[in-house]
Each structure stands twice: as C-alpha cells, then as structure tokens.
A and B are shown apart, each in its own frame.
Chain A
Amino acid sequence: MNIGQILLNLWNASGFAAMTWQNGVMLIIGCVLLYLAIVKKFEPLLLCGIAFGCILTNLPMANLYHQELWTAFMNKEIGYGEILKNGGLLDFFYIGVKTSIYPCLIFMGVGAMTDFGPLLSYPKSLLLGAAAQMGVFVAFFGAVVLGFTGPQAASIGIIGGADGPTAIFLTSKLAPELLGAIAVAAYSYMALIPLIQPPFMKLLTTKKEREIKMEQTRKVSKAEKIIFPIAVTLFVALLLPDTAPLIGCLMLGNLAKETGVTDRLSDTMQNALMNIVTILLSVSVGATMVGTTFLTGETLKIVVLGVCAFILSTVGGLLVGKLMCWLTKGKINPLIGSAGVSAVPMAARVANLEGQKANPSNFLLMHAMGPNVAGVIGPAIAAGFLLNIFG
C-alpha cells in the first residue's frame, strides 16, 4: 500500500488541483459581491443569491453548472432533454431563466406589490416614464459602437430601464452569454440610485424648480384600479405582442391585488412566490458567471455602458420633466422626471429627498410614484420592441 500515491490521487481528484486562475478570481469576485450585499446592503435579496451562485459555479469539479451544455443548446445542437440528463443542479435551476418563467413570476409579484393609483390620478406621469427610457436606446447605440452585436447591444441597453426582471428576460433570450454581467450591473446600479441620480438632478434643475410644490392629485376609485390592469394588458399586448409575458404577469399580479376578492393569491404572489422565485433566479443568474466568459473585456464595457445607461435615463426623465414644468407654467416639479427610472420605490424616494432639500415642506413622494410605476411599463415595451427586432 503506497500511502503517498493514495494521497496524491486524493489531491489530484480534489478541486484544489483543478483550480485555474479564472476560478480563483471569480471566487474572490463572488465574495466581494457577498460583502456588497450583506454589509453594504446592495439589493441583498438578489445579490446574495447571485454572489453565491457565482461561487458555486466556479468551484472546480463540482459540476453544478455546464456552460458547454447551454452553448450547445443555444446552437440548437441539443434540447432540454440533454440538459436534464447531463446537467447539474444549477443547470436545472437555470431552465427557469431560459424559459423566462422566473422573470415573469417576479413581475407578477411586482405587480401585486405596486399601487398604480398615483399614475391613474396623474396620467401624464406616463410621459416621464417614457422619457426615462432614453438610456436604453443610447446605451444600445453605444454598445454597437463598442463592437457588440445587435442582440448583445439590446441586452446591454435594457440595463437603462433599471428593471431587473425585464433585463433578465431579454438577455436570456438575446444574449445569455452576457446574463451574469448584465444582471450584476443592473442590480448594483439600482442599489446605487441614491448616489448616481442626485448630482444630475442638481445639475439639470434650478433651485427654484426644485422648490416647486405640486397640487394634490385626485382620489382614484377602486373600479379604476381594477379596470387599469385589464386595459393595459389588452392594449400593450395588442400593440406589441412580445411584451405579453411580462406585461401580462405584471398586470395579473396587480389585478389580484386590486380586486379585493383574491387577497390570498395576492399575498402568495407578493410573499411566498416572490421569495421562492428570487432564490432560484438569483442563484441561476450567478451560476452563469463562469470565469472564462465573465473575465473578459466585454464585462468591463458592460459595466461602463450600464452606468451610462442609468445616467442617460435619469437625464431623459429630468429633461422632459423640465419641459413639462415650462409647458404647465411651473406646476410640475421636474425632479419627478428622474423617478421614471424604474427602481421602485428608490428613485421616487430620491426625488422626494432632493425636493425636501430645496424646500423642507415639499412632499413629492406620491407625485414621483406616478412616473416611477410608469417606468415599470416603459422597459417592458422597450424589451418587446428589441425582442421583435432581434429575437
């Protein structure tokens, strides 16, 4: 019995012997993301799972995730049967991402948690929600300039919509090889909204404009809140059928919330369902952060384009907010335009905070919630358009 040989065999069979530099770097990145999630509280509900998925997928010889299987799937060389036969645990989790089930179920929960009342009481908020999608298309153009293909550029551009489920939905269909980088960028920047937006809000508005107090909006009836999700689903899905999965799920969730007779369903959508899907989605997305595909120059470009997309979306919303302020002779505070960036409710809170800094008696939160929730519908329409072109 050769003990030395046995020990050598054990070592060679271990993950330590199979570790590459890319594995090592990605394990460190995973730990950094965990730090950001836990200590700095950057979107912890999602970033924790993404970070841990990143760590799991980069463990050598753990065989939890197989990038090569999904590459063959994308090239239509194999089907889901092969994935189920030869895949690991994270491959099975990832099926929910690839089939777009997870983002749609998350959107259902988002709809069940969203109150569209502020939007219904002030429908012009939809203009601000539309304006704040400027970053999507400018970043799309910028990505093409930097050498990305059309589908990749579309996936990068949608980061500007500041909507995680929409970004994952579109990227999983158009450029799944970029999913990890795009998801990390999108959720990290959403957490950084209080840092990214205020400088541009101060730059593009005057103190006088920031001081503007807006009139109380009208009360919205329950019937309106019930009709709204039905009307939006019919209208938007007929206009752009590719938006049907996202908009349909968003509005189903909202309808369950507003009817008053499906409280149990609404409660499940907001809580149990959201939590379960968040766990599976975040770990699956993290699993795509394989060292060989993540540690490239493209990831750095995505990080830069992502922050540009966020900034330009904020700028777009603020500029149209200023225009509406001018057209209404000072009745609209342009700060609410920045809330069209759909990080609900963080962007609305930031607009409220900046308004209060200018005028402590100014409460813009409910006014800002209108564009904020309009900004949930905007990226879905943008994604539907891009899917129509590149899908």
Chain B
Amino acid sequence: MILTKINEITLGEAGVYGLLGYGMVFLGLVLLMFLVMILGKAFMVAEKKAAKKTVVEETPAEEVKPVAPGAAGQLSLNNVDPKTAAMLMAIVADKLQKPINELRFISVKEVE
C-alpha cells in the first residue's frame, strides 16, 4: 500500500492511475464473475443430485370409505386437512340452520 499522500500529480501519472484503476475494477469484477459462475454450477449440480435421489413412493390404494348418507360423492380437499374441512362444513351447516347430511359439499380450497 502506498503510504505517502500523493497530491500533485502529472498528466502522465494521472493517465497511468486511470488505466490501472479501470483495469483493477475489471479484474476484480471478472474474478468475481468466475467465482459466481463456479458457485452457480456447484449449486446446480447439487440440486440435480438431490432431485435424482428423491424416490417417489407409490401411495397405497386408499380404503374406499362408505359415503355418508346425504353426500352425493367425494369431497375434494385442496390444501386443507380433513379436520379443518369438517369444522368448516359444520360451521356452514350451523349458519344455514340445516342438518349437515342434507348439504352437499363439492370442494374445499384454501385461498392464499
């Protein structure tokens, strides 16, 4: 590191510092570019390996549950667990003042 403070400089020195400085910025960012490229490639390779290792297990056939009286078919649940769906159906039935087995629910979906 140049410890002495350089105040007055000649045009020639200014030109050299200018070129050196621009070169230094390019060097720094080019090396950074290679670093980012290497990191990017390493992450992409790691992600591919992780994707290959994932084993899709066959889900066992679900037991056919008897349809409750009044239900016209299967209820479709989207991002909702059965317990939450059951609570929602109970609330709707209560608000409508109708027995739940007289209502047909087709789908319950969580809207984000």
Contact = CB atoms under 8 A, between A and B. Distances in A.
Contact of A388 (B2, B13, B19): B2
A150 B8 contact: yes
B26 A130 contact: yes
A123 interface: yes
Contact of A136 (B2, B21, B37, B47): B21
B5 A381 contact: no
B90 interface: no
Interface in B49-104: none
Contacts of A127: 26, 29-30, 33
Interface in A127-150: 127, 129-131, 133-134, 136-138, 140-141, 144-145, 149-150
B36 A149 contact: no
Given A126-B33, A150-B6, A391-B5, A144 B39 contact: no
Contacts of A385: 20-21, 24-25
Interface stretch (A187-195, A235-243, A286-294): A235-243
Contacts of A53: none
Contact of B15 (A141, A151, A221, A228): A141
A145 B21 contact: no
A184 interface: no
A377 B29 contact: yes
A136 B30 CA distance: 18
Contacts of A389: 2, 6, 17, 21
Interface in A275-325: none
A49 interface: no
Interface in B1-55: 1-2, 5-9, 11, 13-15, 17-22, 24-26, 28-33, 35-37, 39-40, 43-44, 47
Contacts of A249: none
A221 B37 contact: no
A390 interface: yes
A119 B39 CA distance: 13
B28 A123 contact: no
Given A126-B30, A223-B43, A239-B31, A137 B6 contact: no
Contact of A120 (B14, B19, B29, B40): B40
Interface of A: 119-121, 123-124, 126-127, 129-131, 133-134, 136-138, 140-141, 144-145, 149-151, 153, 218, 220-221, 223-224, 227-228, 231-232, 235-236, 239-240, 374, 377-378, 381-382, 385-386, 388-391
7 nearest CB pairs, A to B: A144-B14, A137-B18, A130-B29, A123-B36, A126-B33, A126-B29, A150-B9
